[in-house]
């Protein structure tokens, strides 16, 4: 809960058991730091690990272990906090300046809204690209398309496959498994994320998307989302997660109906210090443009801003 935007929670937050009073004052200082530094300035800050950044900033072990590892574990998909401190500064700034949001129609509502503003025949789906040249795109179907400009807006692996000479080495991926359950009653009953700050166990965080957008569950039901970081052993995963969540929410977890488990091996490109490439937000190679989250900060914001920078560069050219 951001006490600066919801001051009624300030007292509760000051005495909450996560971190010392000094840590809480440091959060206020970090917030100011995020507001005072532009995205361009953040991109030129020293690039160290997030853990090193938090220690340099003065946070205690208790705050780092009890809060940052689980909260940022859910964002970076790693609890070791080895992700670039520029990525940390970027996401902290986003949380400070804006609000986390969930589209009522699901995440696909974002590309659908973007696509709806384009001419009907401007997007071709299910057309896998096999190779690109500066003015030609070849599809796996054998068809060739000519264009004034070619932009490779794929994930990092596909871009490296299409343009091997541009990428010296692949970045690697962060993975996650997401388990979804249907519950009669929301175990949280408010728009919050429950974090595992204990440092042990499988589950990193739990949220109930239908507490934010009721359209995520049928009327009278709640959708519970459980995140496990990395590539957990699939055998009995649901059972092990349920047993662990019994300590969080009680025996009611055994009444939940398991809907589905997704193992997403390629969730986010790894973003070690030094890996957030150009400040322009895109790359070029033999007249071909490359954009996407792997060129900036691995996020929707990063992917969109990379696309915008590329489009502006093409307009200017």
Site for ligand FAD, rule CB under 6 A = 128-129, 153-155, 158, 176, 264, 267-268, 292-293, 298-301, 303
Nearer to ligand FAD, 238 or 301 (CB): 301
Q: In the complex, what is the shortest distance from the CB of residue 295 to ligand FAD, in angstroms, rounded to a whole number?
A: 8
Q: In the complex, what is the shortest distance from the CB of residue 144 to ligand FAD, in angstroms, rounded to a whole number?
A: 14
Nearer to ligand FAD, 158 or 311 (CB): 158
Nearer to ligand FAD, 254 or 265 (CB): 265
Nearer to ligand FAD, 23 or 211 (CB): 211
CA distance 229 to 142: 39
Q: In the complex, what is the shortest distance from the CB of residue 111 to ligand FAD, in angstroms, rounded to a whole number?
A: 8
Residue 129: phi and psi, rounded to 5, are: -90, 135
Nearer to ligand FAD, 157 or 238 (CB): 157
Which residues does 275 contact at the CB level (< 8 Å), separation at least 6? Answer: 84, 171
The interaxial angle of helices 85-97 and 50-57, nearest 10 deg, is 70
Nearest to 2, CA basis, from 94, 74, 95: 95
CA distances from 91 to 71, 301, 314 (A): 12, 10, 28
CA distance 275 to 287: 23
Longest dimension (CA), the chain: 65
CB distance 230 to 175 below 8 Å = yes
Q: In the complex, what is the shortest distance from the CB of residue 98 to ligand FAD, in angstroms, rounded to a whole number?
A: 11
Q: In the complex, what is the shortest distance from the CB of residue 96 to ligand FAD, in angstroms, rounded to a whole number?
A: 15
């Amino acid at each position: 809960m951001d006490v600066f935007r919801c001051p009624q929670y300030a007292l509760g937050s000051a005495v909450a058991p996560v971190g010392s009073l000094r840590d809480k004052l440091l959060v206020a200082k970090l917030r100011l730091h995020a507001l005072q530094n532009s995205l361009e300035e953040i991109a030129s800050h020293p690039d160290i690990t997030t853990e090193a950044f938090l220690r340099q900033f003065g946070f205690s072990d208790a705050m780092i272990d009890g809060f940052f590892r689980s909260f940022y574990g859910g964002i970076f998909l790693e609890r070791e906090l080895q992700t670039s401190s520029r990525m940390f500064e970027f996401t902290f700034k986003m949380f400070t300046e804006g609000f986390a949001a969930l589209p009522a129609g699901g995440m696909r509502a974002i590309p659908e809204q973007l696509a709806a503003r384009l001419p009907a025949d401007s997007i071709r789906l299910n057309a896998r690209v096999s190779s690109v040249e500066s003015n030609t795109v070849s599809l796996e179907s054998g068809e060739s398309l000519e264009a004034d400009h070619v932009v490779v807006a794929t994930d990092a692996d596909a871009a490296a496959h299409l343009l091997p000479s541009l990428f010296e080495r692949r970045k690697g991926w962060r993975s996650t498994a997401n388990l979804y359950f249907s519950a009669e009653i929301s175990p949280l009953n408010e728009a919050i994320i429950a974090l595992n700050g204990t440092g042990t166990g499988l589950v990193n965080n739990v949220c109930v998307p239908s507490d934010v957008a009721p359209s995520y569950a049928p009327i009278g039901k709640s959708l519970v989302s459980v995140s496990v970081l990395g590539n957990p052993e699939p055998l009995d995963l649901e059972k092990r997660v349920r047993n662990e969540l019994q300590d969080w929410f009680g025996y009611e977890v055994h009444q939940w109906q398991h809907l589905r488990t997704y193992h997403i091996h390629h969730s986010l490109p790894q973003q070690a210090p030094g890996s957030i490439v150009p400040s322009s937000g895109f790359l070029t190679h033999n007249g071909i443009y490359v954009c996407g989250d792997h060129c900036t900060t691995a996020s929707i914001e990063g992917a969109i801003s990379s696309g915008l920078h590329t489009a502006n560069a093409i307009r200017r050219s």
